[in-house]
A and B are shown apart, each in its own frame.
Chain A
Amino acid sequence: DQQVKQNSPSLSVQEGRISILNCDYTNSMFDYFLWYKKYPAEGPTFLISISSIKDKNEDGRFTVFLNKSAKHLSLHIVPSQPGDSAVYFCAALGSSGTYKYIFGTGTRLKVLA
């Protein structure tokens, strides 16, 4: 049972435009969410996080939005740059004392120059 889902395996966006990556979760006990970026042959790099007490967190070109009622979060990248082309993973952590980060399967973003 996939508790964290990234339903779009790939996304192509023109340079300078907005990239929106989506993530859905099923467990209402998740209260901390993270986005990671992964280049080929490298480990995932932490990008941005959000706790359930917020609905938005911004860091430069990256903004994460959380809609708790819909159990949905999204990562916005504005403006998109060719160097943003990578696989993006969302991850969730529960509040029940578990330390198991549950990861989605990833979305491959391609930013076209």
Chain B
Amino acid sequence: ETGVTQTPRHLVMGMTNKKSLKCEQHLGHNAMYWYKQSAKKPLELMFVYNFKEQTENNSVPSRFSPECPNSSHLFLHLHTLQPEDSALYLCASSQEMGRGTGGFSGNTIYFGEGSWLTVV
């Protein structure tokens, strides 16, 4: 149990469907992240939120739409996805974003267990 919970753990959706991934962190962190992990590729940063404000969109296609209603919750809304979007989507959080005042320990990011997405 890392304190970061993701639902659903597995999702199969058609290319015309609309679905959402949910992430909740119980660590009192202020920054939340979405990462994508595809086979044999490094973890790819998608979005970053700091105190509910989006601070990074790493050139992610608009068919992925994030939402951060508060510092504890993060959503990834999915619509008209492509089969190549099938991957493990990881949510993460950290006490601070980047070079904060909490020292290096505040920079450590903690991941959820991931949501396996298959687009058919």
Contacts and interface: CB of A to CB of B under 8 A. Distances in A.
Contacts, number: 63
Given A32-B107, A49-B104, A93-B107, A43 B98 contact: no
A36 to B, nearest CB: 8
Contact of A43 (B90, B99, B107): B90
B74 interface: no
Interface residues of A, number: 27
Given A43-B114, A51-B104, A105 B99 contact: no
Interface string A17-45: 00000000000000010101000011111
Contacts of A99: 31, 48, 50, 55-56, 97-99, 107
Contacts of B40: 105
Contacts of A4: 42
B114 to A, nearest CB: 5
Interface string B80-120: 00000000001010000111000011011111111010000
Q: How large is the interface on B (under 10, 10 to 19, 20 to 34, 35 or more residues)?
A: 20 to 34
Nearest to A52: B104
A98 interface: yes
Given A34-B108, A51-B104, A103 B43 contact: yes
